[in-house]
Structures are given as structure tokens and as C-alpha cells.
Amino acid sequence: MLKTEPIDLEAIRRDFPILKREVNGKRLVYLDNAATTQKPRQVIEALVDYYSRYNSNVHRSVHRLGEEATEAYEGAREKAARFVGASPKGLVFTRGTTESTNLVRFSWGEKFVKKGDTLVTTLMEHHSNIVPWQLLAKRKEANLRFVSLTPEGTLDIASLEEVLRDSPALVAVTHCSNVLGTINDVAKVCSMARKVGAATVVDGAQAVPHFPVDFAAIGCDFYAFSGHKMLGPTGIGALVSRKELLEEIDPFHGGGEMIKEVFLDHSTWNDVPYKFEAGTVNIADAIGLGAAVDYLTHVGMDKVREHEMALLRYTLESLTGVKGFKHYGPREPENKGGVLSFNLGDVHPHDLATILDEEGIAIRSGHHCAQPLMRWLDVSATSRASFHVYNGQDDVDALKAGLEKAGRIFRL
């Protein structure tokens, strides 16, 4: 039973210009939201307004345009921080989750990781929460260990307890899997890690867009997310941490704006979070992210979550009867984000995506930047349908019809 009033789907759809488009003469059914979401007109208009009316650099000029740009940029920081239960002083704007994770790798990892240390992540991670730690482990001659999964595609707590016996320096975990949809109890994981002295990094790319997130309640050291997955522009995201921890680590990039004073033989750093935002920052897209936060706040994240759980339940009920359909990950919508990975018999996911595209249906096919997880699943690739607030049961019905068409073509 829904705990909130349902969203006004048709009113929301009217806010997204791209949904008026046809593909191959068919209504666009966009089900690739885990890769990137579409943008409401409110976000698009915020970008146009900045470039049309007050385009200027921030933090540097005393003229009117500069002051207006700075106010809007810092206003976006405040909105984004409040959205995830953090302090604006602890939110660093980055290009997205990948850059946020690499910031931790360089700024925190170079200072605190020593030869022989253990770094921990899991088998369900996106490559952006594996590769940086591989590189750090190689550079520091540290050990990299992985938490295994249960057959249902959830974290194996016994495996986590085992790796924590090594007293690792770092534990990195996704809040929500971009393949399985699994929502991890990251507060529990971070609590367990903290007891053995490990720093914690949470990949929130698939969490922040889909359900309420509270950085303070999670209790992690670093939390990363991307704007383009939450109705915002590409090229903008954030790393959230505690102000005192950001003050303790060195800058990621060197250059303008991140300094207080520069001498020939040394420099001193600006206050956080500016210490980590070198050069001319991504002003327009930060403002666009602020507009996306406004939009999601207006809809209500509890409503977004309830809508997606209902849609997941409907999807699983609808597709289970399709011949050859095999779903990966938890079945209960309460344990999943808005992601559904599946295969259809022996049809290759790329072939399936091509057939669906002919019907105007956009899904993702491939390894989803999670090749270790694909090997664990014993598949080369999967198909993935992923939802956001503008998706409805009619999209699922179209997907089902497309899968049935593919089944007939391949004689399943």
C-alpha cells in the first residue's frame, strides 16, 4: 500500500520536452535512467537563464553579474547539501561520482594508505568504485579485497565480517547497485567499518536520484553522487564529507581559486570546500543541478520512491510470464532501486536492445560498467530497464510487448 499520495504522472511528463519525441514513428519509451535521466524544462530553463542573463565567473568579481552568478552557484551548493542531509561546507562540486571517487583516491589515499594496508570493496560495484582502488593499491603496495554476495544478489555479511578482521584502511561500497538494484544497508556497513578504524566511501549515484538520502545518518566519511542521474545536467556532481576531514587532506587539483596565497616556494590553501574546486568551476551545470534538486524536492522523494516501487512490482508481475525472461537481483521492490536487469532466453542483450529500439523503447544492454559482477552472474551481459519519475505502467506494457516480439523473432 502506498504511504503517500500518488504522483501526477501526466503533469510530470509535460515537464520533459524530450518525451514528446517519436523514435521510428513510435512514442519514446525511455527506460535507460540508470545511465542518465532526461531533464525537465525547469532545469533547461535554468541553464538558458544563466547564459542569457547573468553569465559570469564566480567568487572573483564585484560587478552585478559576478555577484548574481556567485549567489546562484553557492545557492545550488546549499540546495544539494540539504538534499542529502549534509553541510554546504562539506560539499565539493565535482564532475560526478567518478571524479568524486578519484578525489578520495588521491587526496585521502595518498596521505593515509600505507604499504601492506588492505582496501575493501564489493563484487557488485560499478567500475568507478573498483578501478580507483586498484590503482591506489598498486601505487601503495596495498591489498585489495572484495566482499562477496549472496545468491539473491545482496551483500554477504559473513564475507564483510571476514575482510574487516584485516582492519582495512578503507571500505568502499555502493548504496544501490546499478545492475542488481540492490539497496545496501550502508549505515550498517559504515558502522561495522568504523569499529575497525576504516574510512568509508559510499557510491550514491543510483541512490540520491531515487529515494531520500541522509549523509549524517549513514555515518560515512565520503559520499559521492552525480547530477545527470537525478534530472540534472551532465558534468556535475558532488563529493560530500565532513568539513574537518576535508581540511585534513590535500587538494586534488592545483591552480586558481583553490589557493589563499602563492609564493615562489609554496602556497596556502583556500577554505573548504573551495580548496578542492580549482580553476573556473562548472557554474551553469551546478545551477542546473540546483534546479533539479528543486524539482525533486517539489515532487517529494518519498513519492518518487513509492512510485518506483509500485512500478517495479508491476514490471516483475508483468514480465515474469514472458517466455525466456530471467531477472537478476532481489525480487522484492522494497529491497531494490529503480533498476531491473534481465535476459531473454539466449537472445543477446545487444540484439534485444536493437529490436526494442525499433519500437521506440530505450534500454541499456551490456556489462553496465560492472564486469566483475557479470562474471559472478556467469553472463557476458544483461539487458537493463531503469525507471524514474516520468515512467508509468504504459512504458512497462510497451516493454513487455517488445520482449514478446523479440521472443517471436528468435522463436523462443
Q: In what order do the strands lie in the sheet with 339-344?
A: 325-328, 339-344, 382-386, 364-366
Q: What is the dihedral of CA 59, 65, 70, 75, to 10 degrees?
A: 170
C-alpha cell at 24: 521510428
Q: Rounded distance, CA 126 to CA 405, Å?
A: 31
| Residues in the chain, overall count | 412
Contact 384, 302 (CB under 8 A): no
Question: Quick check: helix, strand or coil at residue 325?
Answer: strand
Catalytic machinery residues: 369
Q: What angle do CA 51, 55, 56 make, to 5 degrees?
A: 155
Residue type, 367: H
Residue type, 215: F
DSSP 198-267: -EEEEE-TTTTTTS---HHHHT-SEEEEESTTTTS-TT-EEEEE-HHHHHHSPPSS-SSSSEEEE-SS-E
Q: Which residue has the cell 581559486?
A: 257
Cα Rg, the chain, nearest whole Å = 22
Q: Rounded distance, CA 58 to CA 71, Å?
A: 8
Contact 326, 316 (CB under 8 A): no
C-alpha cell at 200: 568509508
Contact 338, 183 (CB under 8 A): no
Q: Rounded distance, CA 55 to CA 48, Å?
A: 10
DSSP 271-309: PTTGGG--SS--HHHHHHHHHHHHHHHHH-HHHHHHHHH
- DSSP class of residue 141? T
